[in-house]
Amino acid sequence: MNQFNFHFTWKHFTGMLLGNMILGLGIAIFKFSNLGNDPFSAMMMGLADKTPLEYAALTAILNTFLFIIEFIWGKQLIGLGTLINWFFLAYFATFFYDTMTFLLPNPSHFFIQILYLIIGIPIISFGVSLYQASDSGIAPYDSISLIMDAHMPIPYFWCRLFTDFLCAFLCFLSGGLLGIGTLTCAFCLGPFISFFNHKITFALMGHEEEHRIEKV
C-alpha cells in the first residue's frame, strides 16, 4: 500500500482531534506532577532546556526528521492526524499545563504527585489509542513503533516499549527530568494502548481488527 491516508469522515476527524487533545492533557498532567513526563515529551523538554528553542517548536522540528521515516516506510499512516499531532500536540499540552498551573496548587506532596501519575497514564494511553484508531493519520513518533510492528515479528507493545525506552535514555543523556513518571510510561504505555485499542477505541471507530501496515 503506497497511498496516503487522507480520507475524511466527521466521526474519524472528531476521534483524531479529541485523541490529540486528550493526549495533550495527559502530557500536561505528567509535567504538572514534577515526576517526569512520558519518554518522548521528557526527551523533548530536556533537549529544549539545552537550546534557545521552546518545547513546542523543537518538537515540530524533530518530528520533521521522524516524518521522513514514516514517509518512506509508512505512507499509509500519513493523514490529517499526522499533521495535527506534528504541529499542534505540543501546543495543546502547553495550554493545559498553563491552565493547571493557574488553577491548581503545586503538587508538593509525593502522594499527590503519584496520584497525578495514576490519572495521567490511562489518559495519555487513551489519547494515543483514540487518535490512532480514528485512522486519520499517525504522528511521526508513534508511527515508528507501528512500522516496527509491521516489518518485524515483534508484538506492538514491545515495539512501543523499545521506542519509549530509547527516548528515556536520550532524556537522561540530555539532562532532562527522568523520574518515576518517565519510567512508568516506558513500562506502561504500550500495554495500556493495546488494552484501549482492543477494548474500546477500535470498536468505537468501527474497526473489527487492529489496524496494521501491510507488509511489502
**Neighbouring residues of 3: CB distance < 8 A, sequence distance ≥ 6:** 75, 76
What total number of domains does the chain contain?
Answer: 1
Backbone angles phi, psi at 13, to 5 degrees: -65, -45
Query: Would you say residue 177 lies in a domain?
Result: yes
Q: What is the per-residue pLDDT for 168?
A: 86
C-alpha span between 169 and 57 (Å, rounded) = 22
**Residue 159 domain flag:** yes
pLDDT in 10s for each residue of the chain, 216 residues: 456 655 568 888 899 999 999 999 999 999 999 999 988 999 999 999 899 989 999 999 999 999 999 999 999 889 998 999 999 999 999 999 999 999 999 998 999 999 999 999 999 999 989 988 888 888 999 899 989 999 999 988 789 889 988 998 999 998 888 889 888 887 787 789 889 998 899 888 876 544 444 443
Domain-embedded: residue 2: no
Q: Is 18 within a domain?
A: no
Predicted pLDDT at 161 = 84
Residue 190 lies in a domain: yes
Radius of gyration of the CA atoms of the chain, in A: 16
71 belongs to a structural domain: yes
Containing structural domain, residue 173: 28-204
pLDDT score recorded for residue 142: 86
| Residue 11 included in any domain | no
The reply to whether 66 falls in a domain is yes
> How would you class 209 by CB atoms within 10 Å of its CB: exposed for 0-12, middle for 13-18, buried for 19 or more?
exposed
Instruction: Please give the model's pTM, rounded to 2 decimal places.
Output: 0.83
| pLDDT in the model for residue 4 | 60
